[in-house]
Amino acid sequence: MNQIGGLIFLIAVFLFSTFLNWYVFQSLKTLIGDLESIKIKNFSYTIYWVVFTGISFWVVFTFYRIFKAGEISNEHQQVLNVFLTLVVTQLVCVIFLFGEDVVRNFQAGLSYIFNGKEVTTFPARVKWLSIVALTVSLVPLTSFVYGITKGKYNFTVHKETLYFDDLPEAFDGFTITQISDIHAGSFKNYEAV
């Protein structure tokens, strides 16, 4: 990839990551927006943005290192695993929030049409939907974490005996082995493999 293309890719990854972080942040604001303590709210918001902006920069820097090295090392793979886990988790949350935004915009549009500009109010986010969005987002999060840490070594063997009336005698006792879905490039524990 040339330098301009690489730079555009890095900027796109950062902007995409920032967009997802901002959208998920809306559910956090909805959940803790009613808190009395401004200090707790501000602290929570600051922690959220420091952590997720830090991860975004870490991912962009890792992509830069991958482009520069021309290969994905084990360290790079771990960062990409974190990135993929967060993106999928955040996308699940965003689906709920985006659906709510469609409804909220529709309600605001109807209010504008029927009540005029002076009375139009934009509906607030619904707290229970933010809770549902974040809770459902835990499913891909825990699935990815399990898959990355334990599941990749959880091999299973399925044995099937097939019978055919017209199978030639030469194939009696013949064994066919199929190995499927082995992502050997990300394995670090060679004994487990």
In the prediction, which pLDDT does 118 show? 65
Looking at the predicted structure, is the pLDDT value of residue 179 above 60?
A: yes
Looking at the predicted structure, is the pLDDT value of residue 184 above 60?
A: no
DSSP 53-73: HHHHHHHHHHHHHHHHHTS--
- For 37-80, the pLDDT digits (tens) are 788 888 888 999 999 999 999 999 999 998 888 888 888 888 89
Distance between CA atoms of residues 7 and 10, nearest Å: 5
- For 105-160, the pLDDT digits (tens) are 888 888 888 777 666 677 788 889 989 999 999 999 999 998 888 777 777 788 88
pTM for the complete prediction?
0.75
Looking at 22-26, 64-68, 186-190, which range is the least confident one? 186-190
Per-residue pLDDT band at 176 (split at 50, 70, 90) = confident
- For 92-104, the pLDDT digits (tens) are 999 999 999 898 8
DSSP 171-185: GTT----------GG
Tokens in use for 171?
């194939």
In the prediction, which pLDDT does 52 show? 92
In the prediction, which pLDDT does 140 show? 94
Query: What's the one-letter identity of residue 149?
Result: T
Nearest to 186 by CA among 157, 153, 155: 153
Cα Rg of the chain (Å, integer)? 25
Query: What's the one-letter identity of residue 81?
Result: N
Q: Count of residues for the chain?
A: 193
